[in-house]
């Protein structure tokens, strides 16, 4: 059965449904950097790759990632970050391209995040999403 692609917009329940379909062994490793914060480390990545669809001016699926609070709030379909568990966060699955047809950003909307950037997002989530 082909899944409806939820990408960044997967609910917590939907994320667990994808668990069998998402091979977390393919995730880039968590960055070794300590004290990763949204404003200093993550916002610049999202600004470059995500704000055109999920910023102050436009919010596809009612998702904003231009602030820590908005990112943690999630979208109209639920949370995208499981604080402390990057491997269970649909945000990470989407930016790493682990959800079939759910790569974020989409191919025609921007460059994919690098393995290092994904590792930094993972570190931010694993360190408590400060």
Residue range 25-69, pLDDT digits in tens? 999 999 999 999 999 999 999 999 999 999 999 999 999 999 999
Residue 73 is assigned to a structural domain of this protein = yes
**Structure tokens of 35?**
């004290």
Enumerate the H helices of the chain as residue ranges.
12-18, 43-49, 51-54, 68-73, 90-95, 115-126
pTM above 0.95, yes or no: no
111: pLDDT confidence band, cut at 50, 70 and 90?
A: confident
Residue 67 is assigned to a structural domain of this protein = yes
Residue 51 is assigned to a structural domain of this protein = yes
Residue 30 is assigned to a structural domain of this protein = yes
In 3D space, the residue among 66, 58, 65 whose CA is nearest the CA of residue 94 turns out to be 65
3-state class of 124 per DSSP?
A: helix
18: pLDDT confidence band, cut at 50, 70 and 90?
A: very low
pLDDT greater than 90 at residue 13: no
Q: Dump pLDDT digits (tens) for 71-110.
A: 999 998 899 999 999 999 999 999 999 988 788 999 888 8
Structure confidence at residue 77 (pLDDT): 81
Residue 1 is assigned to a structural domain of this protein = no
* Total domains present in the chain: 1
Residue 91 is assigned to a structural domain of this protein = yes
Residue 105 is assigned to a structural domain of this protein = yes
Q: What DSSP character marks residue 101?
A: T
Q: Domain of 122?
A: 7-126
């Amino acid at each position: 059965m082909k899944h409806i692609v939820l990408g960044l917009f997967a609910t917590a329940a939907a994320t667990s449904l994808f668990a069998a379909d998402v091979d977390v062994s393919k995730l880039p490793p968590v960055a070794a950097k300590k004290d990763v914060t949204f404003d200093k480390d993550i916002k610049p990545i999202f600004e470059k790759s995500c704000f055109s669809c999920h910023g102050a001016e436009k919010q596809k699926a009612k998702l904003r990632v231009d602030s820590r609070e908005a990112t943690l709030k999630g979208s109209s379909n639920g949370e995208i970050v499981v604080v402390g568990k990057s491997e269970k966060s649909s945000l990470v699955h989407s930016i790493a391209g682990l959800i079939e047809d759910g790569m974020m950003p989409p191919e025609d909307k921007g460059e994919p995040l690098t393995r290092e950037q994904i590792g930094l997002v993972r570190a931010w989530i694993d360190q408590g999403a400060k």
